[in-house]
Copies of this chain bind each other. A is one copy, B any other.
Amino acid sequence: MARFIGVEEIEALAVGAAVLGTGGGGDPYLGKIMAQEAIKEFGPVTLLDPSEVPADALVVPVAMMGAPTVFVEKIPNGDEALHSLRRLEDYLGKKAFAVMPMECGGLNSTIPFVVAARAGLPIVDADGMGRAFPELQMETFSVYGVSGTPMVITDERGNWTLLNTVDNAMMEYIARGVAVRMGGVGHIAEYPMTGDEMRRTSILQTVTLAIELGKAVLESSKKKVSPLIAMEEALIKSDYGKPIILFEAKITDVDRTTAEGFAKGTVNLEGINGSEGHEFRVDFQNENLIAYKGDQVLATVPDLITFIDLETFKPLTTETLRYGFRVACLAIPTPPIMRTEEALKVWGPKYFGYDLPFIPVEKLNEGMIVNGK
């Protein structure tokens, strides 16, 4: 079931990762270029099905942490995350069997391919968020009992830090402080785990899903048609639910602030294509969190909420949203492993400060007529 991932699959992966990134996770563009360059230099990367990893083999998620805006200005050497992996291996006294993504949305969907290509290691087709989230303890690995530490964080100058913390919230807190003092970005290896732990705590086959979603979008975009049907085909084979177009609308206003290291704000929209006369709103904190029609809640985190540009049919990240854009607001039901009681404590609407219960998007929109008609 293992297969090779080359330059073209990375192209699709970056687009699919923007869909699963729900507006955040960083623009996958630079990560895509880095992964493609590494593959050109070192050859294609083997993508392993989770079932192919031995029970006791060491699997290590690798990623970038910090502000994606800084990442673009302070371009990495490309070997920082690999350095973190090597130092973690030294500390554990064990070599990694494979690396994997910690999230399948945004920038961090492609960063592990840079490490894998350079190290000659395979990547496991799974991740710990099934989307993008802003913090390191927001991972299914953490929810289901894997320790995030020992972890290593390395910067582009060669500074590096090994962390051991009493819990994963403290790991996030200290690592964030280190990343800030490294200039806003650090490259990490964290949540070292066995093959069995990976299978028990991950969202499975999400790299494949992101590649298929990306292909769906790229083909639809070429044909200038909605990618919805093609996306649905990809999602049906996954642990995610059927996608729903919540509304189509025109952006009337984007209100953003940068607060406590996050891009926070609200997108206001007025309905088009059958939703005329209705006002919509999407709140975000790096990622899109809650979608409203007037005062009615249409979808909440951790279900995925993504804007699709109705000109290009491509997904839009939060920082690109502007007055006048015509968009479809797409919701994707998150996999069951993301919706358990213990999982919702970590990333339900309440964690983000909303006095709202989590109600699955397919329930909130039960019997809805697609596109408000």
The 8 Å CB contact of A165, one of B159, B165, B173, B177, is B159
Smallest CB–CB gap between A110 and chain B, Å? 27
Smallest CB–CB gap between A293 and chain B, Å? 41
Q: Please give me the residue from chain B that is nearest to A182 by CB atom.
A: B174
The 8 Å CB contact of A166, one of B159, B164, B166, B174, is B159
Q: Which of A167-226 touch B at CB < 8 Å?
A: 170, 173-174, 176-178, 180-182
Smallest CB–CB gap between A167 and chain B, Å? 9
Q: Which of A97-155 touch B at CB < 8 Å?
A: none
Give every chain B residue within 8 A of A159 (Cβ-Cβ).
163-166, 170, 174
Contact (A162, B165) CB under 8 Å given A177-B178, A177-B181: no
Interface residues of A, CB < 8 Å — how many? 19
Number of copies: 2
Contact of A373 with B by CB under 8 A: no
CA A166 to CA B174, docked complex, whole Å: 20
Give every chain B residue within 8 A of A173 (Cβ-Cβ).
181
Q: Please give me the residue from chain B that is nearest to A179 by CB atom.
A: B177
CA A178 to CA B182, docked complex, whole Å: 12
Contact of A237 with B by CB under 8 A: no
CA A165 to CA B182, docked complex, whole Å: 10
Q: In the bound complex, do residue A174 and residue B161 qualify as a contact, i.e. CB atoms below 8 Å apart?
A: yes
Contact of A313 with B by CB under 8 A: no
CA A158 to CA B165, docked complex, whole Å: 7
Q: In the bound complex, do residue A174 and residue B164 qualify as a contact, i.e. CB atoms below 8 Å apart?
A: no
CA A277 to CA B205, docked complex, whole Å: 83
The 8 Å CB contact of A178, one of B157, B160, B174, is B174
Contact (A158, B166) CB under 8 Å given A177-B178, A180-B177, A182-B174: yes
CA A161 to CA B161, docked complex, whole Å: 7
The 8 Å CB contact of A162, one of B158, B161, B174, B181, is B161
Besides A159-B166, A160-B163, A161-B163, 12 other A-B contacts (C-beta < 8 A):
A157-B166, A158-B166, A159-B163, A159-B164, A159-B170, A159-B174, A160-B164, A161-B161, A161-B164, A162-B162, A174-B178, A176-B181
**25 A-B residue pairs with CB within 8 Å:** A157-B166, A157-B170, A158-B166, A159-B163, A159-B164, A159-B166, A159-B170, A160-B163, A160-B164, A161-B161, A161-B162, A161-B163, A161-B164, A161-B174, A161-B178, A162-B162, A173-B181, A174-B178, A174-B181, A174-B182, A176-B181, A177-B177, A177-B178, A177-B181, A178-B178
